A and B are shown apart, each in its own frame.
Chain A
């Protein structure tokens, strides 16, 4: 197989995903099949080819760094899973000394 279940677990951690043990094996097989299919690109000689990351040959446009306040803060907070006193609540990320 092009990829092992150990590697799949590692990639899942990097991607902040979680797979159960039952999901892991079929998923590893599927990914392996797809990665094997990608191998056909190896037959293309790209030794003198530069990559295309973007279809437009456009430079990043610049603008003045001016603050434009977003008017509807309320609607943004409505989408937050947990809000307290106008702030989004998150799990504690610092340990007590």
Chain B
């Protein structure tokens, strides 16, 4: 079995034909973890016994003719999504010993479809970061170059999928945390429209921006995963009541459909590294054959980072108030209640988490609310309106996912502002609540993956997938990290 050829779609075919069992497939993925995870460090938790038991049950179900949509497929899950009875640490000391007391809705749904969970992946603490260096336990390394970051915050998930440690993964994306690591690791990743996927059981970071989404090796696989996890959930009050389309059917039907594609000039400016621009230009040239390409403007793009780093920390400062050392999580020895709160949080949270709680508390505090939080929320309206105007002219937007290729470990960690600016192309999508997808479009001269981002109107996730599928077929890249070869 050549692991490099294995995808969810191809594995499902082999499983259906009886050429492989879920047990064999799961063992292959666990073998990858044993061989390579000491180098890339994608996982915070692997439970072999549990994974193999799930795989055996899946094989039984298949024999009984009760196969789900993802029957027998080994997946990894970002460590901020609850799987009952297993740890959810959010890569934080404050939750180091926390065991999830219930399943996230996405986990219930994947379980119903027969997926096999092999472990929990590393991340920036509480999903705050763009490099996975903010994990309280250890950083993850980019499988294309171990000296570089895999991106973040879902860097463990992106690395795991690139290394076939599981054939897909779930992450969360608040400002680019799925798309940016997908771009850095040469895999596909999608932030669905806000409200399409239930957030019940996802540890909250910034509730008006957070969204769970899938990582995979191909767009077809991504379509399958999205279909499995999307849909209304009464347990999430922000969950949209819409019919979930058959994404896979849609992308097959629209294999040759022409779209009007907008290229936002603010994204193709001097901030874009030439190493990223080149593969993107090649992709655009290919698209010109079938599609109508035009330049558009999203004039408030340059304000997105400042807006985001006020809004997201403000929401985080409120969401993270629950970690008080009382009901769960780390509790410090203290003389009184106030000291208990302060000491537990001072020890339990890492530097970046504290930085954001402080920024958020400041932006919401008396005398500063109007100047920071309210102001940012108004600029957010303008950013959202930029997209609404653009989608009157075009069906989809094509842009870079990141301004640069993956940077080195340690390169930006000392300068938080530089780290924040690495999210400039992904943040606007979260502020506007839109679907965004990153797919690989080539390698730099140094052999590092480059991602392109497709952005669509709200609740037109199928359109985004359809264009991504066309590009993927046209480019036929088949990327495997050299580490695996």
Contact = CB atoms under 8 A, between A and B. Distances in A.
Nearest to A91: B337
A20 to B, nearest CB: 9
B326 A90 contact: yes
Nearest to A42: B375
Query: Majority SS of interface residues in chain B?
Result: helix
B380 interface: yes
A93 B337 contact: yes
Contacts of A44: 300, 303, 378-379, 382
Contacts, number: 158
Contact of B334 (A46, A70, A91): A91
A49 B361 CA distance: 24
Contact of B234 (A7, A16, A63, A82): A63
B362 A3 contact: yes
A46 B379 CA distance: 7
B379 A15 contact: no
Band of interface residues on A: 35 or more
B432 interface: yes
Interface string A1-29: 00100011001101111110000000100
B306 A41 contact: yes
- Please indicate which of the listed interface residues A18, A33, A58, A82 has the most CB atoms of chain B within 10 Å of its own CB: A18
Given A58-B238, A81-B325, A17 B340 contact: no
A55 B194 contact: yes
A41 B363 CA distance: 13
Interface of A: 3, 7-8, 11-12, 14-19, 27, 30-31, 33-35, 37-38, 40-42, 44, 46, 49-56, 58, 60-61, 63, 70, 72, 75-76, 78-82, 88, 90-91, 93
28 contacts: A11-B362, A17-B354, A18-B343, A33-B417, A34-B359, A34-B416, A37-B306, A38-B309, A38-B310, A40-B302, A42-B375, A44-B300, A44-B378, A46-B379, A46-B382, A50-B378, A51-B380, A54-B238, A55-B194, A55-B432, A55-B433, A70-B102, A75-B101, A78-B99, A79-B327, A79-B328, A81-B329, A91-B335
Given A40-B302, A91-B336, 15 more contacts: A15-B361, A16-B321, A17-B349, A37-B306, A38-B306, A38-B376, A50-B381, A72-B101, A75-B84, A75-B85, A75-B99, A79-B99, A80-B328, A90-B326, A91-B334
